[in-house]
Amino acid sequence: MELTPRKQKILETIIDLYTVSGEPVGSKVLCENLDFSVSSATVRNEMSDLAAMGLLDQPHTSAGRVPSEHGYRIYIDELMKPLPVTPEERHFIDALLLPSAYDPEKLLDGVARTLAGITHMAAITTTPSGSVSKIAGVQFVQTSRRTAMVILMTSSGTMYSRVFHCNFELTPEILRVFFRVFNESLAGKPVRSITPAYIQTMGASMGEAALLMSSALAALQDTAREAMGSDVRMDGQTNLLFFPEFHEANLRRIMRYLSRPQEVYQLLERAGSRVYIGRESGVSALRDASLVIKHYAVRGQDAGTIAVLGPVRMNYPKLIGSMDYLASSVGRMLTELINLQ
């Protein structure tokens, strides 16, 4: 059967109405909200066709119709257009991002908070894990007589720091030696090459100096482990409490899933920019939710993702418009931050 323009319009209107009300849409209210006038009987015939095409579901015989996952898919792929952010919204988003704009480490936190704030849903951001980035350099800062901080800087602009303690007095000279030794053997190497084995090799090649550096080496390995970890930030999980479709077991399933960042990370990284409606994600915990994923690029290279998790019934055009803008802002900001270096 063919999806005539009138059927398209009806599907769109059902999705619009269902998005705001959350209730199945009946033929009567539907034909009151159409921008052309036909009787409810005609609308019923069309709805019956759309249901036969698998675009609408019916909770039970005497209920109205609800868009099916497939219906949403057609709507998103063919019918809707992203709604670009207005200048006001742009200013609003920029203002929310500003406080974290100067620190790559904090930026993705700020983005998650911003995204959760403007969408009132759960927001997730990821940065590329160290598995793809390189070591830009290692820095040392003395923090007290016998403690110092090692800072690992990566090519993606992120920094990881750790404090370590030595059983001897540190001097600027010693730290300069640390700096030279560490940067000579590490700068330019992929972060993933800092393995315990490599650390041992480094230690071995230093001879006696290794004893002095053991705590620094251990601290460095800690930062590398952190850098290798998938970097996932979330915010606004509690926003999901306010959607009637997220209830009890359903909600618990979702929250439990979100508490395993590695899995979330993998889902987002391999997805590409797209919308997962309900069961499309293949994650059973998310079967009643939608996940909108948008990759952002730094220097033209795919660098990470921002994503929003919410009920299937959400305002996709608006959300996708906002996320498009936010993703480009983040990419631009990170590119600037890296170019500064």
By a kind-dependent CB cut-off of 5 to 8 A, residue 47 interacts, out of its own copies, DNA, none, with DNA
Q: How far apart are CA 337 and CA 333, in angstroms?
A: 6
CB 139 within 8 A of CB 179: yes
Cβ nearer to its own copies, comparing 64 with 157: 157
Q: How far apart are CA 318 and CA 324, in angstroms?
A: 10
Residue from 31, 80, 112, 153 binding its own copies (CB under 8 A): 153
By a kind-dependent CB cut-off of 5 to 8 A, residue 48 interacts, out of DNA, its own copies, none, with DNA
Q: Is 149 in the site for its own copies (CB under 8 A)?
A: yes
Q: How far apart are CA 249 and CA 9, in angstroms?
A: 35
Helices 196-206 and 209-228, interaxial angle, to 10°? Answer: 160
Q: How far apart are CA 231 and CA 131, in angstroms?
A: 11
Radius of gyration of the chain (CA): 26
Q: How far apart are CA 130 and CA 104, in angstroms?
A: 14
Rounded to the nearest 5°, which phi and psi values hold at 181?
Answer: -60, -50
Q: Is 141 in the site for its own copies (CB under 8 A)?
A: yes
Which residues 43-62 are close enough to bind DNA by CB under 7 A?
A: 44-45, 47-48, 51, 58-62
Q: Is 103 in the site for its own copies (CB under 8 A)?
A: yes
CB of 230 to its own copies, least distance (A): 16
Interface ranges with its own copies (CB under 8 A): 102-104, 136-137, 139, 141-147, 149, 151, 153, 159, 161-165, 219, 222, 237-238, 241-242, 251-252, 255-256, 258-259, 337, 340-341
Tell me which residues touch DNA (CB under 7 A): 24-29, 37-42, 44-45, 47-48, 51, 58-65
